[in-house]
Chain A
Amino acid sequence: MSVTIYVPGDSGALAVGADEVAAAIVAEARERGLAVDLVRNGSRGLYWLEPMVEVATPQGRIAYGLVGAEDVEDLFDADFLSGGEHELRLGAPEELPFLKRQTRLTFARCGVVDPLSLSDYESHGGLAGLRRALGMTPGEIVQEVTDSGLRGRGGAGFPTGIKWKTVLDAPGPRKYIVCNADEGDSGTFADRMIMEGDPFVLIEGMAIAGIATGATKGFVYLRSEYPHAIQVMDEAIRIARKNKVLGGSVLGSGQAFDIEVRVGAGAYVCGEETSLLNSLEGKRGVVRAKPPLPAHKGLFGQPTVINNVISLASVPVVLEKGAAHYRDFGMGRSRGTIPIQIAGNVKRGGLFEAGFGMTLGELVDEIAGGTASGRPVKAVQVGGPLGAYFPRELFDTPFDYEAFAARDGLIGHAGIVVFDDTADMLKQARFAFEFCAIESCGKCTPCRIGAVRGVEVMDAIAHGAPPEAQVALASDLCNTMKFGSLCALGGFTPYPVMSAIRHFPEDFKPAKMAEAAE
C-alpha cells in the first residue's frame, strides 16, 4: 500500500528547500522499495517550521518540521511513514497551538488539499457556495454578502456587498470582475498563499461575483514577483474550464463566466485599483481621479467589481455556511475572520487567520513568540509600507479597522512586521519616503516631489542638522502629502513617517547620531 506524503509546493517552502526535501523522499523511498504518493500541497502557514512534511497515517496526518534533505534518510529509519517517533516529529498539525488557536474559514483548505485537484477541493466543501448561489437571484447573493459584513481585505475595508450592489445596478453591455492580486505590501503573503495553496477558492469566489453582478469576464491581475502563483492559477483556471466550472455555462447553469490571468510589471502603485485598471488596459499605471467609480465606469469604461484576492476567496464560505456564520466572528464593525500575516523579526512567522479582535500584543508576544533575535521588540509596522509603526505602549490595540484608525494606524492587508531594538526609526522613516519616491505614479506634486524632499530631510537629520527644525519640516511635508495626494501612496506615507517620529523621538535626536557615528 502506498503512503501519501505532503511536501508543500508553496514558494515560502520552496525558498527554504522543499523541492530538495521532496526529491530526497522520492529517492529514498525508491531505494528502500517503498511506495509513496507525493502531494505538493500549499503551506499551512507555519513558516518557521517549513519545510513541514506531513504523512497520512491511519491515525491521521502527522507533521515533521523543519525538515532538511539531510534528515530524510533518518526519518525513514524512524519509520516516519507510520508516524514514527523522531526529534522533528510535531504530531498532528491541527493540534499545534499556532493552528489550534486559529479560525480557518478562508484558509480552511490551504495546506490540507492538493491545490490542483478539483475532486480534493469538492470533497473539502468546495463549490458548495457556488452551487447555492446558482439557485439564488443576483439580488439575494449580493444581500447575503452584504449581511455577512465582509469588508474589502485589500486595505480600504469597503463593504464588499455594497460594491457588488452598485455593479449589479449599473447598466452596461459587459461587466467585469477584477481580482487585485498585486499584493505589493511588505509583510503580506496571504494572497500568494491562497493562490498557490487553494486556487479554486478564488476561482469560485470570482464566479460567484460574476453571477451576482452579471459580469461574464474576470481578470486576475497578478504581480510578476509571484511566478509560482501565476503558474498555479493558470493551471487551476484551465482545470476549472475543462470541468465546466468556468466557461459558457458555469456548472451547467447556462450562465457564462471565464477568467484570465494578467501579469503585472513591477509597479507597486498598480495595486491601487484605478491604476490597476489602466495597467490592464495597456496604459501607464497612473491613478485615475474618482468619480467615476470603477463600479460605474471601470475596465474599458464598463461597470467593474475590483476586489482583493482574500475578499473574493472569502465569499465561497459565506455562501456555503451562510452570512450569519461568517458575521458571528469578529468585533464591532469588523466582522468575520482576518488572515493576519506575521512577518519580520519573529520567532514564529506565518499566516494566522482569526476573528477580528485579538490585540497586537497577543499576536506579537504570544502567537509570534517575540523576536527571532531574542532581543526586545521595538516597533511593529502594521498594514504594509503605508502603515504606522506601533510601539509596545499601543499593544493593547485590537485588530479591528476602527481601533487601528483611532490610533492613527491602519490594518491594510493585515501584515505585521516586527522589529527588534536594533531598528533605527529614522532609517525606517527615510525608507518610507524613499519607497514613495520610487513608486509614485507621478500624477501629484506633493507625492512626487514631497517624497524626494522627505528623504533629504531625513538625511539632514542623520548628518547632524538641528533636528527640531527638520522634524517640523517633515511634519509640514507630511501634512501637504496627506491632504494634497490623489491616492494613498502619497496620502498615507505620512503614517509610517509620523508614527516613527511620534513614538520614537529619541531616534530623531542628535545625540543618537553622534553615537551612531562612532
Chain B
Amino acid sequence: MQPSGTQTDFEDVAARVSAVIAENAHLEGPLLPILHGVQGEFGCVPQEALPVIADALNLSRAEVHGVMSFYHDFRANPAGRHIVRVCRAEACQSMGGARIAELAKVLFNADFGETSADGSVTLEAVYCLGLCACAPAVMVDGKVVGRVDAGRMEDIAGEVLA
C-alpha cells in the first residue's frame, strides 16, 4: 500500500506547478483546472504544490487543501502504475457488479482505495460510468470496458499485472 501522509519526492515542483498555473491563470475560477493540471503533471497533487497555488491565487494554503480534499478525484499520493475503477452503482449491482468487485479485490490483492503491494495497480470504486446499459462496467486507465464478467476481469488483471 502507498504510505499516506508522507512527502512525495518530485523534482522542480515549484517550477512545474507555476507553469500549470500560468496556463490556467486567465480562466474564471481557475482552481479546479489548476488542480487537474497539477495532477496530470505529477499523478497526484503533491503537498509542496499547495503553497505555490495558494500564493498565486491569493488564497491560504488551508483553503487550497480544503478544496483539494473535498473532491474524490484529487490524490495526495501517486497511484499505482495502473488505475482500475470498478463501478459499484445500482445498474452494475443489478448485473452482478458486487461479484466483479469482490473478484477485483482478490485479483489485485488490494481493497478499494488501495494500491497493490508491488505498486502495479490502484483499485478504486466509481459510482456510474454512464455505461449502465452495458453493465457491469469498469474503467482501466481511462479505457472503458462493459459487460464485464469474471473472465473479462481476469483478462484485465492479466494485462495490468503483466
Contact = CB atoms under 8 A, between A and B. Distances in A.
Interface stretch (B12-20, B76-84, B89-97): B89-97
Interface in B120-162: 126-135, 137, 139, 142, 144-147
B33 A12 contact: no
Query: Which of B57, B91, B132, B142 has the most chain A CB atoms closer than 10 A to its own CB?
Result: B91
25 contacts: A11-B129, A12-B146, A15-B144, A16-B134, A47-B133, A184-B127, A186-B92, A186-B127, A186-B128, A187-B90, A187-B91, A225-B130, A227-B142, A265-B72, A268-B127, A282-B32, A341-B133, A345-B95, A346-B133, A385-B90, A415-B132, A417-B132, A428-B93, A431-B93, A435-B127
Contacts of A146: none
A282 B91 contact: no
Contacts of B66: 284
**Residues of A in contact with B, size category:** 35 or more
B10 interface: no
Given A264-B73, A283-B31, 9 more contacts: A11-B129, A189-B130, A260-B27, A266-B72, A266-B73, A286-B70, A342-B133, A435-B127, A439-B127
Nearest to A223: B130
Contacts of A418: 94
Contacts of A417: 90-91, 94, 132
Contacts of A283: 31, 67
Contact of B128 (A184, A279, A281): A184
Closest 10 pairs between A and B when the two form their complex, measured CB to CB: A282-B31, A349-B133, A15-B146, A265-B71, A343-B132, A186-B89, A47-B133, A266-B72, A344-B94, A266-B73
Contact of A262 (B33, B94, B131): B33
Interface in A298-319: 300
A372 interface: yes
B90 A285 contact: no
A420 interface: yes
Contacts of A435: 89, 127
B28 interface: yes
Interface string A403-439: 0000000000001011110010000100100010011
A439 B70 CA distance: 10
B42 interface: no
A331 interface: no
A334 interface: no
A106 B122 CA distance: 39
A287 B91 CA distance: 27
Given A186-B90, A266-B72, A372-B95, A11 B67 contact: no
A187 B91 CA distance: 6
A343 B133 contact: yes
Contacts of B139: 225
Contact of B135 (A188, A344, A350): A344
B27 to A, nearest CB: 8
A488 B93 CA distance: 23
A185 interface: yes
A439 B67 CA distance: 15
B99 to A, nearest CB: 11
Contacts of A14: 144
Contacts of B67: 282-284
B5 interface: no
Contacts of A458: none
Given A16-B146, A188-B130, A225-B126, A385 B71 contact: no
A227 B92 CA distance: 20
A224 B139 CA distance: 12
A183 interface: yes
**Residues of B in contact with A, size category:** 35 or more
Interface in A1-51: 11-12, 14-16, 47-48, 50
Query: Which of B28, B30, B74, B147 has the most chain A CB atoms closer than 10 A to its own CB?
Result: B28
Contacts of A225: 126, 128-130, 139
Nearest to A343: B132
A381 interface: yes
B35 interface: yes
Given A11-B131, A263-B32, A224 B70 contact: no
A263 B36 contact: yes
A110 interface: no
Nearest to A228: B144
B90 A428 contact: yes
B32 A265 contact: yes
B32 A262 contact: yes
Interface string A257-285: 00010111111100000000001111111
B29 interface: yes
A197 B142 CA distance: 19
A165 interface: no
Interface string A371-389: 0100000000100010000
Contacts of A345: 94-95
Contacts of B127: 184, 186, 268, 385, 435, 438-439
Given A186-B127, A282-B29, A284-B67, A341 B132 contact: yes
Nearest to A442: B70
Contact of A419 (B28, B94, B134): B94
A226 interface: yes
Interface in A177-205: 183-189, 191-192
A308 to B, nearest CB: 14
Nearest to A441: B70
Nearest to B71: A265
Contact of A265 (B73, B95, B135): B73
Contacts of A419: 93-94
B57 to A, nearest CB: 8
